[in-house]
Structures are given as structure tokens and as C-alpha cells.
A and B are shown apart, each in its own frame.
Chain A
């Protein structure tokens, strides 16, 4: 039950308050102990990093190109994940694919959250016509199913997409959601007394935004960034699985596309589809847990929810 959970937490918080000037690090460690979702998430993501490092040290990622190995070999010596119908070394494809997929998510997600932050702050703080325009655009944009719009955009580029272009396509819609949530946050914050005081003492608008509002929303922005990266990866993998991705790059989503294209599932080539599914799932679960943990940090009222 909710109340019992928060009662357990109270003495813990009191303890750390009693300790003399706890260092930043021990504060952080104390905090992590209260936030198992964050620990689990970080561990899952670290396991992916470890896989990536081991992979980069042990295989040449050039072998992710077609005709690098005999086709359709099950896992065995020299080919830890086997090979696909085009003769790609699937271990090399996985090692090469993780950073690519992550790069798409990072570029698109961070672009989305940056644009969303600027627009959200601007819109909420200054209000007026600009606010009405931004709010309407966001409301309209969010009513349109994102994947469908991305499909139309991606079909216009067909064939020649690079990983970076893919990220930009996904970024086209990635700013809508952050703009709405950040605008809502700033709207409630700017009515607080300390903002009013700052405004009455003649502090300039940008200064209030950067020194008063921004620091208070940092953890919120952090949770928002993780969510934005995660949904950008989701969108990119969806597009790639439909065959609208960078055709000659072995991103995790493109591997899924080839799996569907060649019917690896019904042909029993399990080594082909298992690694991308496991890696993608770990990536999403890790990001989800971290965002859950950051959400708890940003939103102390939800502390007993996690």
C-alpha cells in the first residue's frame, strides 16, 4: 500500500539529512538505494555497452557487409551468431548495429527535446500569439499518427537514406511531445512566488528562464530526454522494419527488416532474429527503467509509485 511505502522512506531521508555534509557521491549512492528502477536500468544499459566493447575488440565490423561469410550458417566457431542469407556475419552486424540504432535515437531524441525545450519555454513564458500558434501546431501535430507521416516522408526519400538522414526524418516529429509537456510544466512553474519576485525585481526574461526556471526543471528535462530518445528509436525501428530505413546499414531495425523479408521465422533460422530482438528489447527496457527512475527524481510525489 502506498502509505506504508512512504513511511519506510521517511526515516531513510531523515538519516541522510542528519549526516554531516554528505558528499555528492554518497548522496547519490543513498539516492540510488531508494531507486531500484534506476539501478536496474543503468545495469541493463551497461550490459549492452559491455557487449559492444567485447564485440568491437573481437570482430571486424566490416564483416557486417554481405558476402563476408558462408550464407545461413548457424552459430559455430568463428561465427558466434551465425550468418544470414546474404552472407553477413550476424555478430558483426549486431556489434555494428547497436551504435547506429543508438545514434539515430540520440540525434533525433536530443534534437526533439532541444527544440521542444526552446519552444515550450518560449511559448509558456511569453504567452500571447506565439503561444497560441505553437500550442495549435502541437495539438494538430499530436492528433496525426506519427508513424504514418514518417512513412510518407520516408517513401519520398526511398533508397538513398543514410543513418543521419534517418535520424533527421524521425526528428521531424520528435519535438511535438516534449514541447507540450515542457510548456505545461513551465506554465505551472511561472506562477510560483519566487518567479514573481524575480520578475518584479526587474530580472530579464531570458535570465529568469535560465537561472530560475531551467535549474528547477533539469531532472524533468533529463527524464524527458530519455523518453524522447526511446521513442525516436521506436519510430526508427518501426520505419526500418517496414523497409524504409538505410538499406545498406546494418542497424538493428534493418536486421529485423531482412528477417521479415526473407521469412527467417518460418524457415527456422532462429539465430538470425534472436540477437536483434534481444538487443532491441534490452535497449528499450533499460531506457524505460532509467526514465522511470528519473521520473521519480523529477516528481517526488510519485516517489512511492516506482
Chain B
């Protein structure tokens, strides 16, 4: 039965990936656009420096797509390319390939979002748990309402306010970028501190907004758990408050939180597109923003497809390890 579940779950994953690729292929064609031609025409009318690469580009694309071939053949070629993560060339950064551009940006995004997701999960969960515990000092409880309200605001808007306050008015943090312009990325100590200083503002924007959500979820779970029979029993047995809180309530309430954490980790690549844009942080979000701005369809499609695959993999892994975390879960055909 478990094997059947795994097979179905993996099948679902491939269905998602196939759907994403198919939508990517057909949508521009349904809307009657020809992104390559549009872009090339636009560049041709502008003239100038990009003219040089154009002839090769047209030749490359015609060969690559076999634009004279029937649609189903083009579709199969496309699916093959996607399966090999070959997203072709970036239109506006030719001759760079989409994959190269993504490879440069992804470490930045993963670094920023892994750090902020884990930190906000930790802080928010602790805050939420402590709110449901009678021994918590009052000042911590006062933190909750403002953080909850902050949670309703999009990250990037709050990020803009932070930039204005702490980079423009009080100039203690750099205003944009992932590192000081002109320095060459390396693994030296000075470069790493430079990156850290540049990450503080975008990271705090994400963390401060995200904490409220984690706290809200954890608090609700804690209150539900505190009503359980085994809690009453533990209390009647005369267990110490701390034991009851840590071993009985916290541990059980954590389970749904970890599910949400796995989902949040899956969103790592797409979670902060606009935060990165606001801070001009050199991650995948900023690349996507510029791709949209310049009408670079291959780059947009490559990023969207990769993000969908990443999230698919994350949810797949989560569903696979869930029985280890929670033995009560049974895999029945729903």
C-alpha cells in the first residue's frame, strides 16, 4: 500500500512538470505572439550594439526550433529540451544561456531565503509557543499584535520602508545590491562580510514580516494541544510545568509547523522575487524582473519552469518523509 502511494505521488510530480512545460509551450502560441520575432524586430528598429549577434541568433533559433516543422514536432523538441534543463539562450543577454544566468543568480537567492526562512521559522515558532505558556513575561506578549499586523503587509513594501529609513535617511546600511559594486566575488573574509552587510536589510524585511505568520500558526496549535486529554492527564499526574510545556505541548504542536516549513522551503526560489527587485539583490527575482522588463521570454519561461520543478521536488520530498515525522499518518487512497 505504501509502495502504491509512492508511485502515485511520483506520478503526480511528473504530471505537474509536464503540465508546466506544456503551458509554457502553448500559451505564447495561443496568444499569437512570436517572442523571438518581436524581440528581434524591436532590436532591429532600435539598431545599435545588439545587431552583431542577431544573424547568428536567427539562424540558431530557426535550426533549434525547426520553425518550419509541424507544431507537434516543435512540441516534442521542446519537451526534450525541458527534460534536459536546456532553456536556450537569453534573448537580451545573448550569447549567455538561460541556464548560465540562473546559475549565477541562484546561490544568492538560496542564501538569502534559506537564512531568512529558517530564522523566521525559529523565532516565530518560539514566539507563538511562548504566547500559549503562562510563564512568559508580559513584554514578549506585547510583541505579538504588531508582528501580526506586519504579517499582513507584503515583504517588498515593508522592505521599501526599511530601505528609506536605514539606508537613505540614516545611512547605516548599503542601499542596494548584493555586494559593493566593483568588487569581485570571491571567498575572502572581506567579501563575505560585505555580502552579509548588504543582506541585513532585505533579510530583516523578510524575517520581520514572516515571524507573525509562524507565531500565529504555532499559537493556534499550542492552544489546541493544551486542550488534549493527555495534557490534562499529565497535569493531574503532577508533572512539572516545564516538562509539560516542552515535552507534551511543544513537541506535538510542532508537527504542522514543520509541514509548513517544508512548504516554505520549497518556495525559497520564488518567495522573494519582489524583495530582491526592491533591493536590487542579484538573485533570481531580480533576473526575473529584468527579463520581464526586457521581454526576454526564454529567460522568464526558464525561471518559471525551474521554480515549478523546485517546488514540486520539495513537496514530493515532504510527502515522502512525512510518515517518519508522524506515525499516525496512513496512506490510504483518499
Contact = CB atoms under 8 A, between A and B. Distances in A.
Interface stretch (B23-31, B106-114, B186-194): B23-31
Contact of A148 (B161, B295, B308): B308
A135 interface: yes
A157 B32 CA distance: 10
A244 B292 contact: yes
A305 B19 CA distance: 40
Interface string A271-297: 001000100110011011000000000
Contacts, number: 121
A153 interface: yes
Contacts of B30: 156
A42 B29 CA distance: 45
B289 A281 contact: no
Contact of B304 (A148, A268, A284): A148
A90 interface: no
A234 interface: yes
B152 interface: yes
What's the interface size class on A, roughly?
Answer: 35 or more
Contact of A157 (B31, B227, B273, B300): B31
A284 B149 CA distance: 9
Interface in B26-67: 27-28, 30-31, 33
Contacts of A31: none
A216 interface: no
A156 B31 contact: yes
Contact of A144 (B16, B154, B219): B16
B143 interface: no
Given A242-B277, A304-B223, A305-B223, A155 B176 contact: no
A237 interface: yes
Given A147-B273, A234-B154, A242-B289, A155 B297 contact: yes
A259 B157 CA distance: 11
Given A140-B16, A152-B304, A243-B292, A145 B270 contact: yes
A268 B297 CA distance: 33
A140 B15 contact: yes
B264 to A, nearest CB: 12
A281 B33 contact: no
Contacts of B134: 1
B293 interface: yes
Contacts of A148: 270, 303-304, 307-308
B19 A2 contact: no
Contacts of A256: 157
Interface in B217-263: 219-220, 223, 226-227
B164 A2 contact: no
A266 B168 contact: yes
Contacts of B195: none
Given A152-B304, A155-B297, A304-B223, A135 B277 contact: no
Contact of A152 (B12, B277, B301): B301
B315 interface: yes
B153 A145 contact: no
A288 B152 contact: yes
Contacts of B293: 243
Contacts of B334: 135
Contact of B278 (A144, A260, A287, A302): A260
Given A151-B292, A266-B175, A277-B160, A238 B274 contact: yes
A21 B240 CA distance: 48
Contacts of A144: 16, 19-20, 308, 311-312
B27 A145 contact: no
Contacts of B307: 145, 148
A241 B311 CA distance: 23
B160 A281 contact: no
B168 to A, nearest CB: 7
A242 B288 CA distance: 9
Interface in A218-249: 234, 237-238, 241-244
Nearest to B274: A241
Contact of B23 (A145, A149, A270): A149
A270 to B, nearest CB: 7
Given A144-B16, A152-B300, A280 B27 contact: no
Contact of A155 (B168, B292, B311): B292
B23 A158 contact: no
A273 B273 CA distance: 19
A140 B20 CA distance: 11
B260 to A, nearest CB: 14
Contacts of B27: 152-153, 156
A287 B154 CA distance: 13
A143 interface: yes
A54 interface: no
A1 B241 CA distance: 14
B132 interface: yes
B270 A147 contact: yes
B267 interface: yes
7 contacts: A135-B334, A148-B308, A157-B31, A241-B277, A242-B289, A259-B160, A305-B219
Interface of B: 12, 15-16, 19-20, 23-24, 27-28, 30-31, 33, 132, 134, 149, 151-154, 156-157, 160-161, 163-164, 168, 175-176, 219-220, 223, 226-227, 267, 270, 273-274, 277-278, 288-289, 292-293, 295, 297, 300-301, 303-304, 307-308, 311-312, 315, 334
